[in-house]
Amino acid sequence: MIRRSTFTALASAVALMAGLASSSAALAQQTTLRVFSGGANQRPDLMRKLFDQYQAKNPNVKVEIETGGATSELQRQYLSTVLNAKDPAIDIYLIDIVNPAQYYGAGWLEPLDAYVGKPAEAFKAYLPVYLSSNVIDGKVAAMPAFADAMFMYYRKDLLDKHGVKEPKTWDELSAAASKIQRAEANPNLQGLSIQGAPIEGAVCTFLLPYWGQGKDFNDANGKLTLDKAAATKGLSQWLAMVDAGVIKRNVAEVKTPDTVNEFKAGQVVFAINWGFAWDRFKDDPDSKVQGKVGVMPLPAVADGKSATCVGGWQWAVSAFSKNKAAAAGLVKHLASAESSKFLAVEGSLLATYPGVYTDVDVVKNVPWFKDAANVVIAGRSRPMSKDYGQVSDIIRTTTSAVLARTKTPAEGVAEIESRLTRVMR
Q: What is the pLDDT of residues 296-340, one digit of tens each?
A: 999 999 889 899 999 889 999 999 999 999 999 999 999 999 999
Same fold, 31-148+311-381 and 150-309+383-423: yes
Q: Where are the domains of the chain?
A: 31-148+311-381, 150-309+383-423
**Cβ–Cβ < 8 Å for 146, 313:** yes
In the predicted structure, residue 65 carries a pLDDT above the cut 80? yes
- Pure H helices in 30-163: 44-57, 72-84, 100-105, 113-116, 119-122, 129-133, 156-161
What's the pTM?
0.84
User: What tens digit of pLDDT does each residue of 114-150 get?
Assistant: 999 999 999 999 998 999 899 999 999 999 999 999 9
Domain 31-148+311-381 has CATH 3.40.190.10: yes
**Cβ–Cβ < 8 Å for 340, 322:** no
Cα–Cα distances in angstroms (integers) from residue 341 to residues 46, 47, 147, 166, 305, in the given order:
12, 13, 12, 29, 29
The rounded percent of the chain whose pLDDT value lies above 70 is 93
- Cβ neighbors of 306 (< 8 A, separation 6 or more) are 168, 212, 297, 298, 299, 300, 378
Highest-scoring range by mean pLDDT, 7-16, 348-357, 384-393: 348-357
Residue 24: predicted pLDDT: 45
In the predicted structure, residue 379 carries a pLDDT above the cut 90? no
Residue 311: predicted pLDDT: 87
User: What tens digit of pLDDT does each residue of 152-177 get?
Assistant: 999 999 999 999 999 999 999 999 99
Which pLDDT band holds residue 25 (cuts at 50, 70, 90)?
A: very low
- Cα dihedral: 113, 119, 123, 127 (round 10): 130
378/289: higher pLDDT: 289
Q: How far apart are CA 99 and CA 133, in angstroms?
A: 9
Q: Of the candidates 292, 303, 253, 247, which has an alpha carbon nearest to the alpha carbon of residue 272?
A: 247
Domain 150-309+383-423 has CATH 3.90.600.10: no
Phi, psi of 306 (to 5 degrees): -65, 140
Average pLDDT over residues 394-408: 98
Cα–Cα distances in angstroms (integers) from residue 31 to residues 37, 173, 192, 388, in the given order:
19, 55, 51, 34
Residue 19: predicted pLDDT: 52
Mean pLDDT, the chain, whole residue set:
91
